[in-house]
Amino acid sequence: MNILLLCTGNSCRSQMAHGILSEYFEDEASIYSAGVEAHGVNPKTIIVMNEIGIDISNYTSNTMKDYLDISFDYVFTLGENAKRNCPIYLGEPINTHKQFLDPYNAEGTEEEVLNIYRKIRDEIESYFLNFDF
């Protein structure tokens, strides 16, 4: 099974989902993540994923166009920008949209910002661990 996770910059939400799905479904699926643009993996995303034992420090940031030649079973858009800009992928993927707050521009103290990242991470983890693939 091939799964693609899309968000705006492939720096936060899709990277979190990529790490979580890779951790829990590594033997059942090939996981890919991308963004409308590639902003690089956000350091705060790496921190909050490490807190739950998932290392994404070697992940790369990709764009949606990088995967146009792959046939997907599932394409998840994790934000409105990705949903509006999602191209057509090979095969007949099940396209699913789930809106998650983008923590990229979170403001506050370092701890307040990290808490926003943690909240989104936990929401993404709960969503995907309860999704019926």
CB 6 within 8 A of CB 75: yes
Question: Domain with 78 in it: what CATH number?
Answer: 3.40.50.2300
CB 83 within 8 A of CB 92: no
Range of 12's domain? 2-129
Does residue 89 carry a pLDDT above 90? no
Does residue 96 carry a pLDDT above 90? yes
In the structure, what pLDDT confidence band is assigned to residue 82 with cuts at 50, 70 and 90?
Answer: very high
Number of other CB atoms surrounding residue 53 within 10 Å: 8
Q: Which of 38-42, 83-87, 92-96, 100-104 has the lowest mean pLDDT?
A: 83-87
CB 127 within 8 A of CB 96: no
3-state secondary structure 64-95: HHHHCCCECCEEEECCHHHHHHCCCCECCCEE
User: For residues 19 and 9, what is the distance between their CA atoms, to the nearest angstrom?
Assistant: 16
- Helix-, strand-, coil-residue percentages of the chain, each rounded to 5: 40, 15, 40
Q: Which of 51-55, 75-79, 86-90 has the lowest mean pLDDT?
A: 86-90
* pTM metric for this prediction: 0.95
In the structure, what pLDDT confidence band is assigned to residue 15 with cuts at 50, 70 and 90?
Answer: very high
* pLDDT tens digits, 110-119: 999 999 999 9
User: For residues 45 and 57, what is the distance between their CA atoms, to the nearest angstrom?
Assistant: 9
Name the domain count of the chain.
Answer: 1
In the structure, what pLDDT confidence band is assigned to residue 102 with cuts at 50, 70 and 90?
Answer: very high
